[in-house]
Amino acid sequence: MSPRSDPPDTLLLDEMFSPLIAASLVARGIDCQAVAAQPALRSLDDHDVLETALGEGRILVTNNVVDFEILRRRREAEGRPVPGFVYTSDGRFPRDRAFVGRLVAALEDVARRHVARAYGGVVWLAPIEDR
């Protein structure tokens, strides 16, 4: 899939991701916000974070797959809208020295290529070197 010329997807990073990751993405031209950087969002439960992503038209990036997948499936079964999701894992993105750089590169790539939207709204993030 080649990069598209339209603007990249906008992202919302769930609370487990540092605001530094969002700042790195913004520096690369990706509209990205971090829950951890916004006091009003930090206090929200998962349902409200999902609603925020949906209301702002953002793809929700989370490592909390179990909880968000329950919410996503329930909403789909009810015929209610859901945001796009990018799921991550510590197995694919171990929290070592290369973590932030690898995660930022992979998120920039999927945002520019609209991968979550292209694959039905859900994508498991993989490091660039694994593709």
Predicted confidence (pLDDT) per residue in 65-112, tens digit: 999 999 999 999 999 999 999 999 999 998 888 899 999 999 999 999
User: Is residue 38 assigned to a domain?
Assistant: yes
User: Is residue 6 assigned to a domain?
Assistant: no
pTM: 0.92
How many domains does the structure of the chain reveal? 1
Cα–Cα dist 12/61, whole Å:
6
Give the three-state DSSP class for 123.
Answer: strand
User: Is residue 111 assigned to a domain?
Assistant: yes
User: Is residue 97 assigned to a domain?
Assistant: yes
Report residue 101 as tokens.
């750089």
User: Is residue 86 assigned to a domain?
Assistant: yes
Q: Is-contact 92 86, C-beta < 8 A?
A: no
Range of the domain at 102: 11-130
- H/E element holding 107? helix 99-113
